[in-house]
Structure 1
Amino acid sequence: MSQPTATGTCPAATMDDLLALRPDVVRCPYAVYETARHDAPVEYSERLGGWVVTRHDDVLEVLRDATSYSNRLASGPSSVSGLAQKVLENESLPERTRVAAARRIELSKSRVLLFSDPPLHKRQRSLVNAGFTPRRVAELHDSVEELAHSLVDKMPETTAGFDIVPAFSTPIPMTVIATLLGVPPELMGMFKDWSNAFTRGVGALEHDNDAVVEIFDQVNAFYDYFTEEISKRQENPVDDLLSDLIAARLDGEEPLTLDEMLQMLVQFLVAGNETTTNLLTSAVWKLADDAVLQQRLREDPANLPLFVDEVLRLEAPVQGVWRVAVADTEIGGVRIPADGLIYLVTGSANRDSTAFEHPNELDIDNAGSRHLTFGRGEHVCLGMNLAKLEAKIALGVLLSRTKEVRIAKPDTDIPFHRSFVLHGIGSLPVTITRS
């Protein structure tokens, strides 16, 4: 089916339709964004309880200013922490769910990385960087390439096709981050369940009780597992990122606490897994819809990094981030009071015609890293280079091993995850012809 590269193929809708998770708008929110940029680039949303900012220059200005805008509510109301507060108020839920929610709220008091502000953020980032050594990142290249080849080996060459998400997009980033954290292969299924639990709380304002119970069972299991693993590494360090975090020291700085490490691991899990899965699937989607683009990238793999950046711009795995005004301020001429919640729609900023010559088209010839998908300034994404590395290697292997990748059912709507923040395809049936 045709892809929503131009906003004309997206449904006419409102921001409230997107926040209510209307499926066709979640799949293609770009007409909503364009209307917002034109009519009300900074507008208060009753549903969110905050201001929605959609214009590129306004989003960039806030991202760069870590002094005037705090990250303390970086996941906004649609998060596991926000959901945990509702759990405590819902007496119909099981006691174990309420206990797990209370644990999450207590741990969230440790402001970590994405949720911390300077100078605390600088200390934490410096300690984490000590774990992400150049050696450790460089070692990933060969393992990602080997994994990608093994996954392509298993792909069936049938007219019925197969789902690229579990066959390719999910196992690559999941294996990478699990390996970095020392999670053994036999626990990969459990690891994915934990990731799903944390991401189900993002970008959805409502959940039924059964879903809430399942989410917090998995969240609690995650905390239990890594609390024990951290204790083991403290006694007997091994060669993995978890041991590096425990050992990380800087002159004059305190080591990371248990609560800080647990909260960091959550962020590594989501950022290093779910978002990269969505990036890979969107990239395959773009390729499978454009035989000319496929051939161009096969003939000149040097264009792959540019292609990845364009996919990151057009189909950002994270469509927006949150800030809180430290004091009374203005954005785009609109007054924001102190403690006002702000939703920066980076997915809209990435398609702003004032910043990009061809805002709704995949344009390798004019591509670059000017998009705001990874943020800017103090809180630019820690895993940015790792995500790009994984995508470049994995897609390069897929293209080198195939003559053609196509959508298996072109007339079928492609399902997207139920989230207005995390943007990703749930299932993508494709066919391949091997080279």
Structure 2
Amino acid sequence: MTAPTCPYRPADLARLVAGEPELVRCPYPLYEVLRSEEPVAYAERIGAYAVTRYADAIEVLRDHETYSSTMASGPSSVTGLAQRLVDDPATPETLRAQAARRLRMAQTPVLLLTDPPQHKRQRQLVSAAFSPKRINALEPEVRRLATELIDGFAARGSVELVSEFALPLPMTVIATLLGVPPQDMADFKRWADAFTAGVGADRTAEEIAQMFADIDAFYDYFTAAIESRRAHPQDDLITDLLSARMDGEEPLSVDEILLMMSQFIVGGHETTTLMITSAAYRFATDPALADRVRKEPALIPGLMEEMLRLDAPVQGMFRVTTRPTRLGEVDLPEGALLWVVFGSANRDPEAFPHPDELPPPDASSKSQPHLTFGRFEHFCLGSAVARLELRLATELLLTRLPDLALGCDPADLRRHGSFVLHGYPELPLRFTPKEA
């Protein structure tokens, strides 16, 4: 009998970055082909080389002198979109002005978009705001909030998990860290969405203009909040950033703080929402696994790491070469843009013994660390917060909602229309109703 052949070939990378629904929904078979046949493959639409093997990804992430983070968000980011609009003579003047403001803000790169020594200074200044003490102190509040959200639908027997749980939980946590009062949460949600609305997906001119207007509103709101904290410090992240000091280094500027906060809200709510939703999907479609974890909650942290490996909410980050170099079998010129595909590297059989499977909870593994939170200098500052939220969300969903199952045909579920962000924008679930 002839073995089935994969329906994809390396050239289909163009279809993925163009947002073709089938490939966006499940890019992993294409990644397998790319790793095998063209592990450093050029995607003309985004002007970047897709790096799909784990070893190559590690080489890029480790060597910041050759592979710079100054284009870490790439052409699919808000800044990349702004640059294209400014360069396009057909862009309406109002939209061009909005895009130009984005580029002016980008002149003050922070964290994800910096290399040492600038990155080292910023990370050291901001690390106190994510200290183990502050993260540990969050656990009772995260548990309380998650419990209250589940109370709102536990007796109903069904829920659309994203809108009623997976989104409001991390969004409220990061908003609380930033000192946003409850009455401003609706605005905060709209602003937070604006930072990811253009990532890896096409938008109309009207949608882009609204997205930029919402980002402007975010900057205006938090500029005022920063000045308020100067006069009246509070126990929140903004005050921590303002008061951060290090011998021989300048404190963070207002623009640095604003741009850091924009990165925090993307990592602090959008990606965590995707993580929670993907984990819930796995438990809803594997009742035996869900029952096992209900009986042995100590398994949750290990399983969460494997789920993060299998479904990275951010499928990759961008780097740019600072000099001519050779990666794998490909010669790269100075200024070459790379898309380091975490979603592919995380399933490389050379690094992981169960590349496309969720191993049994008690399976011993000698695999490498996954790349979902990055590696080395750019390892995610908020990873401890994300892991806390994911662990508590999983624990409470499984213990509070018996017989958790999908509330629709799996074929009817849709994925985000982005080749960068990966996950479900909606997830209907059903379960045995239980009084709150």
TM-score (norm 2): 0.94
Indicate if the aligned counterparts of 2:154 and 2:433 stay in contact, CA closer than 8 A. Answer: no
Alignment RMSD, CA only?
A: 1.8
Corresponding position: 1:382 with 2:381: yes
Deviation at 1:262, TM superposition (A): 0.9
Deviation at 1:198, TM superposition (A): 0.7
Amino acid aligned to 2:337? L
Q: Deviations over 1:317-343 (max 9, x none)?
A: 010011111111111121111111111
- Give 2:173's aligned residue: 176
- Give 2:57's aligned residue: 59
DSSP-derived class of the 2:318 partner:
strand
Q: How does 1:268-417 map to 2 (within 5 A)?
A: 268-363=264-359, 364=361, 365-366=363-364, 370-417=369-416
Indicate if the aligned counterparts of 1:11 and 1:24 stay in contact, CA closer than 8 A. Answer: no
Which deviates further from its counterpart, 272-281 or 182-191? 182-191
Indicate if the aligned counterparts of 1:249 and 1:255 stay in contact, CA closer than 8 A. Answer: yes
- Give 1:115's aligned residue: 113
DSSP-derived class of the 2:42 partner:
strand
User: What are structure 1's unaligned runs of at least 5 residues?
Assistant: 1-7
Residues 369/279 of structure 1: CA separation in 2 closer, same or farther (3 Å cut): farther
2:163 corresponds, among 158, 163, 166, to: 166
Measure, in 2, the Cα distance between the counterparts of 1:28 and 1:269. Answer: 26
Indicate if the aligned counterparts of 1:309 and 1:369 stay in contact, CA closer than 8 A. Answer: no
Indicate if the aligned counterparts of 2:154 and 2:401 stay in contact, CA closer than 8 A. Answer: no
Residues 11/417 of structure 1: CA separation in 2 closer, same or farther (3 Å cut): farther
Amino acid aligned to 2:18? A
- Give 2:240's aligned residue: 244
Indicate if the aligned counterparts of 2:17 and 2:43 stay in contact, CA closer than 8 A. Answer: no
DSSP-derived class of the 1:43 partner:
strand
Amino acid aligned to 1:375? G
Indicate if the aligned counterparts of 1:41 and 1:52 stay in contact, CA closer than 8 A. Answer: yes
2:249 corresponds, among 253, 267, 271, to: 253
- Give 2:132's aligned residue: 134
Amino acid aligned to 1:301? P
The sequence identity of aligned pairs, in percent, is 48
Corresponding position: 1:433 with 2:429: no
DSSP-derived class of the 2:323 partner:
coil
Measure, in 2, the Cα distance between the counterparts of 1:10 and 1:418. Answer: 23
- Give 1:212's aligned residue: 208
**Number of paired residues?**
426
Corresponding position: 1:71 with 2:65: no
Indicate if the aligned counterparts of 1:11 and 1:28 stay in contact, CA closer than 8 A. Answer: no
Deviation at 1:98, TM superposition (A): 3.0
Deviation at 1:50, TM superposition (A): 1.9
Residues 382/24 of structure 1: CA separation in 2 closer, same or farther (3 Å cut): same
User: What are structure 2's unaligned runs of at least 5 residues?
Assistant: none
Which deviates further from its counterpart, 396-405 or 28-37? 396-405
Measure, in 2, the Cα distance between the counterparts of 1:49 and 1:193. Answer: 30
Indicate if the aligned counterparts of 1:10 and 1:31 stay in contact, CA closer than 8 A. Answer: yes
TM-score (norm 1): 0.94
Deviation at 1:9, TM superposition (A): 12
Residues 235/189 of structure 1: CA separation in 2 closer, same or farther (3 Å cut): same
1:31 corresponds, among 5, 13, 29, to: 29
DSSP-derived class of the 2:380 partner:
coil
